[in-house]
Structure 1
Amino acid sequence: MNSRAKRLVLPLGGALAAATMIGASLPATAQASTADPDVKSSALTPSGNAKAIAGYWTASKLKSATTYLADSTVSAKLTKTGAARAAADGKPGVVAPTGEEDKSAGQSKNVNLPITVGKVFFVDDKGQERWCSGSSVQSKYRNLVATAGHCVYDTDTNKPFGNFVFIPGYYQGKAPWGIYVGAKVNTHDDFTVYEDYDYDYAFVNVYNGIKQQPEKEVDYKTFKAHVDKGGVGRESATTVDFETYDKWTQKGGLGKVENVSSEDEVGPQYNGALAVAAETDKWTWEKVTGEVYGLKNDKVTLKGNELPQANWPKAGSKIETRVENVTKTEYDAYKGLGYRKIDAQGNYTITYYFVVKYIKKTASVKYVIFRHYISTVADAGRLGDNVGGQGFSWNQALGKKVFTFGYPTSAHLDGNKPYSGHTQKWCYGTTAAAPVVSAYKAEEHQAIKCAFTPGASGGPFLLQYKNSKRTGYLNGVVSLTLDSDGNKRYDRVTTPYFNGDTYGIYKHAANLWTGKLPA
């Protein structure tokens, strides 16, 4: 904001408003009176990685992700001398919403919830899946999301978070309108450089939506090729009897035999010997010299060709590895011989290593077969074409009636937990001066009375929200949740004040094209 000198500050901020009211007679766009602000644009994901990032966010990961910055909430007493003070830096203006939506993401009392609102998901620098709230906003290429700056950009590491996506209309792990992968985040330089949360907003350009297709079973070769290209797949292991194992491997399916004892083992030329995969660790496997063999129909193969029994290699020879994509929970809990690794796309993987052994058909061992499944994705089209986009407003006067929407989840300070975080909620109130929160240098926030708890961060403040059309004008994003009277209950949510600088950031972002997703 032009009224403030740049300085080094710590989290959370915003401002107040003073200007004329939004009226139906105002033009669809207006020009900001201030000079162009410092725009910080940071790349998020190359288009070639977008489908892999969308595939990363499985339903289980969406449900298990936790809200971000739950500790960036405060108790702040509301006093006349402690109220935030901000002023418009020019004439007020608005940009009209993208379209008039008649689609529904559900209802709460008599308020029709906007499908433009959803969750943003990302992975923090510790590898934890996190989320905040966000909303689709009008833009030239129908590709823009508004959220809080701290929900996209990590001021501790000075770079954006990884695997960023937006899911409009999110509901209990579902993405009804697709998953939109972040391409570029646009923030004010005072936020990214000076950590000034009076600029705690971000406008993220996203690629076309990606919809996950129903999971299908495939052979291992197809599975491995899909996963090697960054696709999502899973491996299912089942213990079976010998007959089932034998039929499965005769058809080319993968399997292994466990609990092999010295009494069960035979040599490679033993009459009726079965070639089986015995698991070992990465380091033992790498020490073995010679060719890497395969197994098919209980026989040994080399470069895809089945070897006659007379040419079978000695026991302990290398068998090709197998890679499995797993959840973070499975990754952390895994204690087996496999090698754990997080790949370039952020997928959690376990690589299994095997050597060949030969056993008698009558051996009392455990037979395991592996089935393989992959998930594919399809282009769902542009965000704004699918769900619309809220309008935008700046330099608006204090004392306006607004709705705010989001996904609160954390408990109140007294331990009461009224929200799950899996469904969208709303508040309605009049904007007023927010308390000054010195710990976060929040000197220019406005607030409404609202009992949202953490999780709502990034959710929109909407002026003139029309219940029938589910659209209004974005006039803020949730930045702080406050307990202003010290009763251990959150009673206000705050937003940075949207002024001419904010419009400049928005205008820059609203004219950026993200390009097409590769086929």
Structure 2
Amino acid sequence: MKRLLIPLAAAGLTAAALVAPAEANPNWVSDDLLPTPAQAYSAAYFWLDANGAALRKATQYTLDTKTVPKLVSTGSKSGVTDGKPGSTAPTGVGSPPAKASQVNLPKTIGKVFFQDSKGNYRWCSATSIQSRNRNLVATAGHCVYEKKDDVYDKWVFVPGSYQGKAPWGVYAGAYAFTTFDLDTYDDYDGDYAFVAVHNGFSLAGEKIVSAKEYKEWTGDKWIKPKEITAAEFLKCQLNLGDCWSEGQDKAAEQVGPDYPGAVVEKVEVGKTAYGAARTGKGNGFKFGAPVTEQVTATEYNAYNGPGDKAKTTTGNYTITRYYTQKWVKPGTSRKYYEAQYTLGLVKDMGRLGDVVGGQGFAWNQPLGQQVTAFGYPADPHPDGNKAFTGVTPKWCSGKTATKSYQINTFKVETHQVLKCSMTGGADGGPWLMKYNNSKRVGYVNGVTSVFADNDGNGRIDYISSAIFDSETAAVYNKANFAATKRIVGPNGEMLK
């Protein structure tokens, strides 16, 4: 897969210095995900609706292989990069948090959610990455492309994802950029993708409006039926309002206790009638034992029923009631409704990089780098042990191997590897070189691609990533110039 490329930049080159790539460059491809505001709005709302039900229903992406891949060392320290080292600095670094003995999780990491061709809701790990338009996400290519050039549906990024929550909003993918060989041949030497996302989106409640406002609204909307009284219904009709009735006025019909759907009602009777009634199940039979209740003087004087009234020697008032059974087939009653025109309000969260910042990007770096890899592992190990839940992000830290590796299962000729026990679900999570634990930023120099059990003990012990070289920089450089849009207006409406 490696090609002879003209290096894009020298070490330390900033994003501002990158120039727009030539249109004839054959090493990258771009595919539409949700390019229009309407498509982006629909996808974002889909994941957030019903308090994030779809987000909670989604399960981790799992590599499509029945056997755990094996790593084969190429024995090569050279030839894995094809130009001078380069990097772009992270953005959006706020005030450093207090020092901690543990690794501080970056604000930039989260999950990408999508729907596959079988209708399954899936997720992978990802991170916001620095770009000129503050709108770029880095993840694994297989978390964007389903089979060769087919992209997943409803693709969104949720930074800080946790149990169906989207604390900083949902960012719908507009355009995906990856290598020509991954897009065309499923070649995992280029298993990475950069996705330009629209401005973030969050739900902001609902609003009842007039029919005119409802008709003009371009966002999500629905009509709620509100139950009203018969008098309100008559008034609504006289005013030509949007109201209607359902059902019919029909009295209950007495039937036998064995009639299908029959229900029993209580009929209050006097003591004599109750005493003459039979015990058991049937019309006119006793309904339980007599009920004696203590009442107030006012209730006592107002009662004119067939029960027994009594005043005790202590001055208390009681009423004893007697009931028999009445079995009926329930009747129906007409109900009246009025239309409530309801708008679903949403809020523009702004550009991704302005909200959570963006990690730096590095390419053509030597192997053997100290990196910290982040992700949301969830798959069980090959031995069936499920150490991770996928709910919270985890991390591994160490030096990558000094030699590149092959993985025949996925056509990999040169991957970098890191000793790590994270499992599937961590796919697409960033490998951050020079990670600053105080500022929570570093340089993305890889994304988790494949998981391996190299010692054969039934446990994942290595993860691998494509080597970020000049070809990666070419893909990133193209994505860096992708312009995206706001999808929500100032009043919560969908923009056209």
TM normalised by structure 2 equals 0.70
Change (3 A) 1:41 1:485: same
Change (3 A) 1:37 1:95: farther
Q: Is the 8 A contact 1:70 1:410 kept in 2?
A: no
Q: Is the 8 A contact 1:436 1:442 kept in 2?
A: yes
Paired amino acid for 2:356 = V
Change (3 A) 1:110 1:50: same
Q: Residue by residue, what CA displacement relative to the aligned partner does 1:62-90 show, whole Å, maximum 9, x if unpaired?
A: 11101113444853444546889851111
Change (3 A) 1:302 1:99: closer
- 1:202 Cα deviation after fit: 0.6
Greater Rg by CA: 2
2:127 is equivalent to residue 135 of structure 1: yes
Q: Is the 8 A contact 2:249 2:333 kept in 1?
A: no
- 1:134 Cα deviation after fit: 0.7
Match of 2:112 among 120, 140, 145: 120
Match of 1:445 among 408, 412, 415: 415
2:455 is equivalent to residue 485 of structure 1: yes
Match of 1:44 among 12, 29, 33: 33
Q: How does 1:190-229 map to 2 (within 5 A)?
A: 190-213=181-204, 215-216=205-206, 218=208
Q: How does 1:276-315 map to 2 (within 5 A)?
A: 304=241
- The equivalent of 2:84 in structure 1 is 91
Greater shift in the superposed pair: 141-150 or 36-45: 36-45
Q: How does 1:156-175 map to 2 (within 5 A)?
A: 158-175=149-166
Q: Is the 8 A contact 1:75 1:486 kept in 2?
A: no
Q: Matched residues in 1 for 2:173 and 2:366: separation?
A: 32
- 1:174 Cα deviation after fit: 1.4
Secondary structure of residue in 1 paired with 2:413? coil
- The equivalent of 1:400 in structure 2 is 369
Q: Residue by residue, what CA displacement relative to the aligned partner does 1:395-428 show, whole Å, maximum 9, x if unpaired?
A: 1111111001111111111111121112111111
Secondary structure of residue in 2 paired with 1:41? strand
- 1:230 Cα deviation after fit: 6.0
Q: Matched residues in 2 for 1:397 and 1:403: separation?
A: 16
Paired amino acid for 2:381 = H
Unmatched tracts of structure 1, length 5 or more: 6-20, 238-244, 252-295, 307-318, 320-354
Secondary structure of residue in 2 paired with 1:57? helix
- 1:305 Cα deviation after fit: 7.0
- 1:366 Cα deviation after fit: 8.4
- The equivalent of 2:398 in structure 1 is 429
Paired amino acid for 1:502 = T
Q: How does 1:456-475 map to 2 (within 5 A)?
A: 456-475=426-445
- 1:137 Cα deviation after fit: 0.7
Q: Is the 8 A contact 1:84 1:444 kept in 2?
A: no
Match of 1:497 among 460, 467, 492: 467
Q: Is the 8 A contact 1:154 1:160 kept in 2?
A: yes
Change (3 A) 1:219 1:492: same
Change (3 A) 1:246 1:183: closer
- 1:108 Cα deviation after fit: 9.1
Greater shift in the superposed pair: 391-400 or 357-366: 357-366
Change (3 A) 1:123 1:250: farther
Change (3 A) 1:204 1:297: farther
CA RMSD of aligned residues (A): 3.8
Paired amino acid for 2:331 = S
2:242 is equivalent to residue 231 of structure 1: no
Q: Is the 8 A contact 2:96 2:438 kept in 1?
A: no
Match of 2:141 among 127, 149, 154: 149
Q: Matched residues in 1 for 2:100 and 2:60: separation?
A: 22
2:250 is equivalent to residue 360 of structure 1: yes
Q: Matched residues in 1 for 2:449 and 2:463: separation?
A: 7
Paired amino acid for 2:56 = K
Percent of aligned positions with the same letter in both sequences? 41
Q: Is the 8 A contact 2:68 2:382 kept in 1?
A: no
Change (3 A) 1:368 1:453: farther
Unmatched tracts of structure 2, length 5 or more: 253-329, 490-496
- 1:187 Cα deviation after fit: 1.1
Paired amino acid for 2:345 = T
- 1:143 Cα deviation after fit: 0.6
Change (3 A) 1:219 1:232: closer
Q: Residue by residue, what CA displacement relative to the aligned partner does 1:79-130 show, whole Å, maximum 9, x if unpaired?
A: 54688985111111111111323488x9996111001111011111122211
Q: Matched residues in 2 for 1:492 and 1:234: separation?
A: 53
- The equivalent of 1:415 in structure 2 is 384
